[in-house]
């Protein structure tokens, strides 16, 4: 990322993930209710038993008996409501969260996202966005619930035996701070040490699995497996060393829970004689018992806090990654529409022939110091079919991305004599179309994958265009337009995906069509046929076609050839 | 958030113990620690009860101090045991993961590349690395609780029974209800899930589709319309997921309700009997403190079931790999396979057929590849050229005979007679030289013949590639054509250095321009002139023109 682009603050991302109070509060109240009931159940049970031991009349116990049963039932009911309500709130917020992130990436996609990497990182981004749901569910809610319950309990006990209340407060604070501190620092240190080892192991495993044929055929598998075993042993040893720190946090919480009980006893026993807090100036046995036992129940609820700590660390990692991908400002290399509509020039390019002219055009990817392409001069007129070749790294794909205005340019890029910088990006993309190197197919039917290019097209038109790109038979064999293409087009081959993408472009009827490396994911036998079919299908008197490909193209299909010279820096 | 969907899995898969010895050791250590924890819990409850009864009886602090001191000791011990159990669980997980990983990798090596190709390699790698990490939670959170359920719960019930029969009976009646209800609710959850499954799968990837296809959407001016789409997809995702969650959260509800209601029942029953004087306060309090502890492990097992089921599902996938006996093991040089010496005659295929499942891919192929000649194997796409090569390599079982210089190449023979380069370059991290000398050079570069590396690169038409160039993952740092020629050089290096009689190159020039292709063909001609059998799978006119011998593989008419 270049210096000019700042990532958005993590706080902005986190705010997007936190549901609005109207959705969040009901679940929160139910959660607090459930936790308070859990503490009250133990307190009331203990009181019931110790009072009963003094053999009072049954009527005295009546309230306690009802209370115990009610607390038991409502604790579970509230808990169920809490989980339902808080999940519902998190899912409601998910739409806002996704929209918020999407709104920010629309202007920079795809070139501004490309600098962060390939498809798998995109998956990562989407998963990170979804993982942010843990913020309300596993961080904010438990913290507030446990904190409120602990505070209420401290106050209640303080009213009975002030010293016991203070002991509980100190124990809770120490357990919270030390527990979170230990789990935080130890986990962070373990992660620092272990993640490079995990990464190395994953790389080695992948290399072996992917190249098992090569390793087997060259009798090199044995040594590789031995090497993997050594890496594995290193990771295991480091994990074993780290494991000592893992249990410290639960141990600390348990220790302070015991300390709180002991403290309550230590201060409660003398208080029986000397008198207690505001609530009961004259202390009775049963009241002291409640003060002694409540800390146990409080600490059970309190156990959520260290868990919330580790959830928070993960949420923060996700938020940081999302913030890193989504810049606060559009990088300088990505075009932004001129805001002032007065200077925005809008001739209707869709009518009549379109001539595309490049003069000394250059373009740069965000975060790259060297231009991805430079010094291109080219003219495309209706009916032209130009083959653009050049070694990898020459900037062929950069040029394609620039022509559809995903990247900004230096020099001149004119459509019918108008500098495209002065045009809205959408206007340019209405005339200049692109079949991408890896066409994206949506996990839907073939029909839906074609219709978004022209949603007024009839089935007959769709069938006709499929026939034009050589997919008539194929689509019939699969059950016609309703056949699904699978997630990311998993059910279609690389060549078929290219043909569908071409069909889409033909439906949109772009006056200028750029086809970027259609044979990149096609076997060599299919490549020649594909290139030939693409040029034949796209050929039209009113359309200019720019085919970027390293597959040789026969002369009779072309009107011109252009070769980009090799460049020092490589970015494809 | 974790998937809200539970899978039906066994709590403890016996295969885990069979395949990973470390799991057995952990179970033993965990059981001992669990026993110690149970005793500490009982001691804590007993001492606390004693301190309270003494307090209620009006004893001064001085009398109670020894009990408090003992209680403090128990608190420290309890905390230490919690720590030890977690340490043991984490160590166990690390060791089990190592053992399972080694077993799976050995299995992959034994089953061979064709078997691996039939499963997605990325999927396999994930299972062996991050998939296994899901076992961490299984070991750290689930197994200890499962152990405690089996150890602590019976002991605690016995203690409660010995103190107060009625309370003990309440616990005995309620505890079995928990798993029964869990199973019942689990069934309902599953059927609800199955109804929603496909829709949920589609919806959960819907946002990915929009984000991933954003470039395409912008080309067609559709990006603005996606806001509504994202909203509607997510909203439908929410309503459908909530339908499932409403049912699946019921299991948590039942757990909580059973545990807290039985504590309430015990408290009330004890209270009523205390009024009658039928029970002592000490006994009542002791039982009241122990009762929740009897439920705790069962509740934890239920609560941690999600975390555990992810781990178990990962383990399940591993076991499926380890248990797979559908294909025979392939031969490997470092295995116990027999080495056969061959002379310098022709390679003869006689009635070679290959089946993949039910489909006959290669049907009775007869072919002769004479020594000293460059033979080209061609045929339309999908005719089975690569399958035939895989059969020669011993990756795929075949019927018919394969003879070299009149000697039958047995199915279990090593591949010492054969050097090969596949369609995919398959290069590794490291220098070009290390890649070219793969199999010959050990990790410390002994046995790496620099001159032969240069010669092999030259003969593969890749003289411009420096042997010192360092490659990244998948041969990153070379162009497609360069990678292809380095892969060819690797086969040539092997052919020369180990004196392989046969060299097979599968589509070696598909990414080459005509100059590079010509360079490679010159090298191949030299290898043939040395008396080797050179077989090239290709459809390129230049390669066919250079061949002495073209073998056409006919398409099978499949029904």
pLDDT reported for residue A393:
67
Question: Does residue A350 sit within a domain?
Answer: no
Identify all chain A residues contacting B241, using CB atoms and an 8 Å cutoff: 87, 91
pLDDT reported for residue B335:
41
| Partner A contacted by B329 (CB < 8 A) | no
pLDDT reported for residue B212:
79
Per-residue pLDDT for A360 more than 70? Answer: yes
Per-residue pLDDT for A64 more than 60? Answer: yes
Per-residue pLDDT for A9 more than 60? Answer: yes
Higher pLDDT, A459 or B514: A459
Identify all chain B residues contacting A94, using CB atoms and an 8 Å cutoff: 234, 237-238
pLDDT reported for residue B382:
66
pLDDT reported for residue A570:
39
Per-residue pLDDT for B444 more than 70? Answer: no
Question: Does residue A332 sit within a domain?
Answer: no
Identify all chain B residues contacting A242, using CB atoms and an 8 Å cutoff: 90
> Binning pLDDT at 50, 70 and 90, where does residue A22 land?
very high
Contacts of A367 (CB under 8 A, 6+ apart): A1, A2, A115, A331, A333
Question: Does residue A436 sit within a domain?
Answer: yes
Cross-chain residue pair B105–A95, CB shorter than 8 Å: no
Distance CA A537, CA A541 (A): 12
Interface probe for B, chosen from A16, A30, A46, A53 (most Cβ of B below 10 Å), is A53
pLDDT reported for residue A143:
95
Closest-CA residue in chain B for A519?
Answer: B511
Per-residue pLDDT for B45 more than 50? Answer: yes
DSSP structure string for A202-251: HHHHHHHHHTHHHHHHTT-HHHHHHHHHHHHHHHHHHHHHHHHHHTHHHH
CA-wise closest residue to B53 among A301, A118, A49: A49
The answer to whether residues A434 and A301 belong to one domain is no
Per-residue pLDDT for A332 more than 60? Answer: yes
Taking each helix axis from N to C end, the angle separating B281-303 and A21-53, rounded to the nearest 10 degrees, works out to 150
Ranges of H-type helices in B57-142: 61-111, 113-117, 121-126, 132-137
> Which one of A129, A266, A453 has the shortest CB-CB distance to B220?
A453
Rg (CA), chain B: 34
Q: Residue A503 to residues A470, A471, B222, B269, B518: CA-CA distances in angstroms?
A: 9, 9, 17, 78, 37
Identify all chain A residues contacting B55, using CB atoms and an 8 Å cutoff: 265, 268-269, 272, 285, 288-289, 292
Distance from CA of A383 to the nearest CA of B (A): 22
DSSP class of B475: G
Cross-chain residue pair B264–A134, CB shorter than 8 Å: no
Distance CA B337, CA A369 (A): 56
Per-residue pLDDT for A201 more than 50? Answer: yes
Distance CA A500, CA B315 (A): 39
Question: Does residue A291 sit within a domain?
Answer: yes
pLDDT reported for residue A241:
80
Tens of pLDDT along A244-292?
777 888 899 999 999 999 999 998 888 776 655 555 555 677 888 888 9
Distance CA A159, CA A282 (A): 12
Q: Residue A371 to residues A3, A364, A419, B389: CA-CA distances in angstroms?
A: 16, 4, 20, 44
Total domains in the fold of chain A: 2
CB atoms within 10 A of CB A234: 13
The answer to whether residues A169 and A240 belong to one domain is yes
Preceding peptide of B107 cis, ω within 30°: no
Tokens of A509: 């009827």
- CATH number of the domain that A143 lies in? 1.20.1560.10
> Binning pLDDT at 50, 70 and 90, where does residue B381 land?
low
The fraction of chain A above a pLDDT of 70, given in percent, is 89
The answer to whether residues A276 and A150 belong to one domain is yes
Q: Could you tell me the residue range of the domain that residue A512 belongs to?
A: 356-563
Interface probe for A, chosen from B57, B65, B218, B231 (most Cβ of A below 10 Å), is B218
Per-residue pLDDT for B435 more than 70? Answer: yes
The answer to whether residues A397 and A470 belong to one domain is yes
Cross-chain residue pair B215–A110, CB shorter than 8 Å: yes
Within the 96-125 window of chain B, which residues sit less than 8 Å (CB to CB) from chain A? 97-98, 101-102, 105-106, 108-109, 112-113, 116-117, 121-122, 124-125
> Binning pLDDT at 50, 70 and 90, where does residue A532 land?
confident
Per-residue pLDDT for B28 more than 70? Answer: yes
The answer to whether residues A379 and A250 belong to one domain is no
Three-state secondary structure call for residue B408: strand
Kindly report the average pLDDT of chain A as a whole number.
Answer: 85
> Binning pLDDT at 50, 70 and 90, where does residue B556 land?
low
Per-residue pLDDT for B510 more than 80? Answer: no
Identify all chain A residues contacting B208, using CB atoms and an 8 Å cutoff: 122-123, 126
Cross-chain residue pair A289–B56, CB shorter than 8 Å: yes
CA-wise closest residue to B147 among B58, B253, B31: B31
The answer to whether residues A248 and A376 belong to one domain is no
The answer to whether residues A410 and A293 belong to one domain is no
Question: Does residue A3 sit within a domain?
Answer: no
CA end-to-end span of chain A, whole Å? 17
Tokens of A450: 């074609």
Question: Does residue A504 sit within a domain?
Answer: yes
> Binning pLDDT at 50, 70 and 90, where does residue A435 land?
very high
Per-residue pLDDT for A351 more than 80? Answer: no
pLDDT reported for residue A406:
92
Interface probe for A, chosen from B140, B240, B271, B539 (most Cβ of A below 10 Å), is B271
| Partner A contacted by B407 (CB < 8 A) | no
Question: Does residue A2 sit within a domain?
Answer: no
Cross-chain residue pair B271–A64, CB shorter than 8 Å: yes
pLDDT reported for residue A311:
87
Domain end point (choices A324, A347, A382): A324
Distance CA A318, CA A315 (A): 5
The fraction of chain A above a pLDDT of 90, given in percent, is 39
Distance from CA of A256 to the nearest CA of B (A): 9
| Contact assessment for residue B489 and residue B462, using Cβ atoms and an 8 Å cutoff | yes
CA-wise closest residue to A525 among B109, B380, B75: B380
pLDDT reported for residue A279:
54
| Partners of B402 in the β-ladder | B349
Q: What are phi and psi of B212, to 5 degrees?
A: -65, -35
> Which one of A73, A75, A404 has the shortest CB-CB distance to B219?
A404
Distance CA A384, CA A62 (A): 95
pLDDT reported for residue A309:
83
Within the 222-241 window of chain B, which residues sit less than 8 Å (CB to CB) from chain A? 222-224, 226-227, 230-231, 234-235, 237-238, 241
Per-residue pLDDT for B559 more than 70? Answer: no
Identify all chain A residues contacting B299, using CB atoms and an 8 Å cutoff: none
> Binning pLDDT at 50, 70 and 90, where does residue B406 land?
confident
Task: Tell me how many residue pairs between chain A and chain B have CB atoms under 8 A apart.
Answer: 392
> Binning pLDDT at 50, 70 and 90, where does residue B121 land?
low
The answer to whether residues A476 and A539 belong to one domain is yes
Cross-chain residue pair A392–B479, CB shorter than 8 Å: yes
Higher pLDDT, B123 or B424: B424
Within the 11-30 window of chain B, which residues sit less than 8 Å (CB to CB) from chain A? none
Cross-chain residue pair A391–B125, CB shorter than 8 Å: no
Distance CA A58, CA A52 (A): 9
pLDDT reported for residue B6:
41
Distance CA B166, CA B174 (A): 12
Identify all chain B residues contacting A88, using CB atoms and an 8 Å cutoff: 238, 242
The answer to whether residues A218 and A366 belong to one domain is no
3-state SS of A386-405? EEEECCCCCCHHHHHHHHCC
| Contact assessment for residue B456 and residue B490, using Cβ atoms and an 8 Å cutoff | yes
The answer to whether residues A386 and A265 belong to one domain is no
> Which one of B94, B210, B241 has the shortest CB-CB distance to A243?
B94
> Binning pLDDT at 50, 70 and 90, where does residue B493 land?
very high
Percent of residues in chain B assigned helix, strand, coil, to nearest 5 = 65, 10, 25
Per-residue pLDDT for B196 more than 80? Answer: no
pLDDT reported for residue B294:
92
The answer to whether residues A318 and A374 belong to one domain is no
The answer to whether residues A144 and A33 belong to one domain is yes
Per-residue pLDDT for B337 more than 50? Answer: no
Domain end point (choices A324, A342, A375): A324
Max CA separation in chain A (angstroms): 109
- CATH number of the domain that A435 lies in? 3.40.50.300
Higher pLDDT, A139 or B183: A139
Distance from CA of B272 to the nearest CA of A (A): 7
CA-wise closest residue to A386 among A507, A544, A502: A544
Higher pLDDT, A161 or B127: A161
pLDDT reported for residue B503:
95
pLDDT reported for residue A116:
45
DSSP class of A406: S
Rg (CA), chain A: 34
pLDDT reported for residue B10:
63
The whole-number average pLDDT for the span B33-39 is 96
Closest-CA residue in chain A for B442?
Answer: A223
Question: Does residue A285 sit within a domain?
Answer: yes
């Amino acid at each position: 990322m270049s210096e000019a682009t700042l990532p958005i603050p993590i706080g902005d991302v986190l705010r997007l993930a936190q549901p609005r109070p109207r959705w969040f509060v009901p679940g929160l109240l139910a959660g607090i209710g459930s936790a308070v009931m859990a503490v009250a159940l133990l307190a009331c049970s203990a009181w019931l038993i110790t009072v009963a031991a003094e053999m009072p009349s049954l009527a005295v116990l009546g309230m306690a008996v009802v209370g115990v049963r009610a607390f038991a039932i409502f604790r579970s009911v509230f808990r169920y409501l809490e989980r339902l309500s808080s999940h519902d709130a998190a899912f409601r917020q998910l739409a806002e969260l996704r929209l918020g992130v999407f709104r920010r990436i629309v202007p920079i996609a795809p070139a501004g996202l490309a600098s962060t990497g390939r498809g798998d990182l995109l998956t990562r981004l989407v998963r990170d966005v979804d993982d942010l749901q843990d913020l309300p569910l596993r961080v904010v809610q438990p913290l507030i619930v446990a904190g409120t319950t602990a505070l209420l309990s401290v106050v209640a006990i303080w009213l009975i035996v002030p010293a016991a209340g203070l002991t509980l407060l100190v124990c809770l604070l120490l357990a919270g701070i030390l527990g979170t501190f230990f789990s935080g620092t130890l986990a962070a240190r373990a992660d620092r040490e272990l993640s490079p080892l995990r990464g190395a192991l994953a790389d080695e495993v992948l290399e072996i699995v992917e190249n098992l044929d090569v390793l087997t055929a060259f009798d090199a598998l044995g040594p590789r497996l031995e090497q993997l075993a050594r890496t594995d042993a290193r990771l295991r040893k480091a994990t074993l060393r780290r494991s000592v720190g893992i249990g410290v946090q639960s141990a600390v919480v348990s220790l302070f829970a015991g300390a709180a009980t002991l403290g309550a006893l230590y201060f409660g026993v003398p208080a029986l004689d000397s008198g207690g807090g505001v609530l009961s100036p004259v202390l009775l046995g049963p009241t002291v018992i409640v003060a002694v036992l409540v800390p146990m129940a409080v600490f059970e609820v309190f156990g959520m806090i260290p868990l919330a700590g580790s959830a928070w660390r993960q949420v923060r990692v996700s938020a940081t990654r999302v913030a890193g991908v989504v810049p606060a400002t559009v990088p300088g290399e990505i075009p932004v529409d001129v805001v002032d509509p007065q200077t925005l020039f809008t001739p209707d390019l869709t009518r009549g022939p379109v001539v595309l002219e490049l003069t000394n055009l250059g373009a740069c990817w965000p975060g790259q110091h060297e231009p991805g392409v430079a010094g291109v001069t080219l003219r495309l007129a209706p009916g032209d079919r130009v083959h653009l070749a050049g070694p990898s790294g020459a900037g062929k794909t950069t040029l394609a991305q620039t022509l559809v205005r995903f990247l900004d340019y230096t020099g001149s890029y004119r459509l019918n004599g108008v500098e495209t910088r002065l045009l809205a990006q959408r206007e340019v993309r209405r005339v200049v179309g692109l079949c991408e190197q890896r066409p994206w197919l949506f996990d839907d039917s073939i029909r839906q994958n074609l219709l978004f290019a022209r949603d007024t097209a009839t089935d007959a038109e769709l069938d006709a265009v499929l026939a034009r790109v050589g997919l008539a038979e194929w689509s019939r064999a699969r059950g016609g337009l309703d056949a699904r293409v699978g997630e990311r087009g998993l059910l279609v081959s690389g060549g078929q995906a290219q043909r569908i993408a071409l069909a889409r472009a033909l439906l949109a009827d772009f006056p200028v069509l750029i086809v970027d490396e259609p044979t990149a994911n096609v076997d060599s036998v299919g490549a020649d046929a594909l290139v030939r079919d693409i040029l034949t299908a796209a050929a039209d008197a009113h359309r200019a076609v720019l085919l970027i490909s390293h597959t040789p193209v026969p002369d009779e299909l072309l009107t011109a050839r252009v070769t980009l010279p090799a460049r020092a820096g490589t970015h494809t | 958030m974790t998937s809200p969907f539970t899978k039906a899995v066994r709590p403890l898969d016996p295969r885990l113990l069979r395949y990973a010895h470390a799991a057995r050791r952990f179970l033993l250590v965990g059981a001992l620690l669990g026993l110690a924890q149970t005793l500490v819990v009982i001691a804590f409850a007993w001492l606390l009860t004693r301190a309270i009864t003494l307090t209620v009886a009006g004893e001064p602090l001085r009398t109670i101090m020894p009990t408090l001191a003992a209680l403090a000791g128990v608190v420290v011990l309890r905390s230490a045991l919690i720590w030890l159990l977690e340490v043991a669980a984490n160590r166990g997980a690390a060791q089990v993961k190592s053992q399972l990983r080694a077993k799976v990798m050995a299995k992959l090596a034994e089953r061979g590349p064709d078997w691996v190709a039939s499963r997605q390699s990325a999927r396999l790698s994930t299972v062996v690395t991050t998939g296994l990490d899901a076992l961490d939670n299984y070991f750290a959170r689930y197994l200890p609780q499962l152990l405690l359920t089996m150890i602590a719960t019976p002991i605690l019930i016995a203690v409660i029974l010995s103190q107060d029969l009625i309370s003990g009976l309440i616990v005995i009646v309620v505890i079995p209800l928990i798993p029964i209800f869990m199973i019942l609710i689990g069934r309902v959850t599953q059927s609800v899930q199955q109804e929603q499954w496909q829709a949920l799968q589609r919806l959960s990837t819907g946002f990915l589709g929009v984000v991933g296809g954003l470039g395409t959407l912008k080309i067609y001016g559709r990006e603005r319309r996606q806001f509504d789409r994202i909203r509607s997809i997510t909203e439908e995702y929410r309503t459908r997921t909530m339908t499932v969650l409403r049912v699946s959260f019921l299991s948590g509800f039942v757990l909580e309700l059973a545990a807290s209601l039985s504590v309430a029942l015990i408290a009330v029953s004890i209270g009523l009997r205390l009024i009658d004087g039928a029970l002592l306060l000490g006994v009542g309090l002791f039982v009241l403190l122990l009762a929740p502890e009897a439920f705790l492990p069962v509740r934890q097992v239920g609560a941690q079931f999600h975390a555990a089921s992810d781990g178990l599902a990962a383990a399940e996938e591993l076991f499926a790999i380890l248990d797979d006996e559908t294909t025979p093991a392939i031969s490997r040089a470092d295995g116990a396979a027999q080495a056969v010496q061959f002379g310098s005659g022709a390679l003869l295929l006689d009635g070679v057929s290959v089946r993949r499942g039910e489909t006959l891919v290669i049907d009775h192929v007869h072919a002769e590849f004479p020594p000293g000649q460059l033979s080209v194997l061609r045929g339309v796409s999908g005719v089975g050229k690569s399958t035939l090569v895989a059969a020669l390599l011993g990756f795929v079982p075949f019927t018919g005979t394969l003879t070299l210089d009149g000697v039958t190449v047995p199915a279990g023979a090593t591949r010492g007679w054969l050097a090969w380069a596949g369609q995919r370059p398959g290069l590794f991290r490291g220098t070009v030289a290390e890649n070219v000398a793969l199999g010959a050079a050990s990790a410390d570069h002994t046995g790496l013949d620099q001159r032969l590396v240069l010669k092999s690169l030259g003969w593969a038409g890749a003289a411009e590639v420096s042997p010192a160039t360092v490659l990244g993952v998948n041969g990153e740092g070379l162009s497609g054509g360069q990678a292809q020629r380095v892969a060819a050089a690797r086969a040539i290096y092997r052919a020369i250095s180990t004196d392989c009689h046969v060299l097979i190159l599968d589509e070696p020039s598909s990414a080459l321009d005509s100059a590079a292709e010509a360079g490679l063909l010159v090298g191949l001609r030299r290898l043939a002139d040395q008396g080797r059998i050179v077989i090239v799978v290709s459809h390129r006119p230049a390669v066919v023109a250079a061949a002495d011998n073209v073998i056409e593989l006919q398409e099978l008419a499949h029904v």
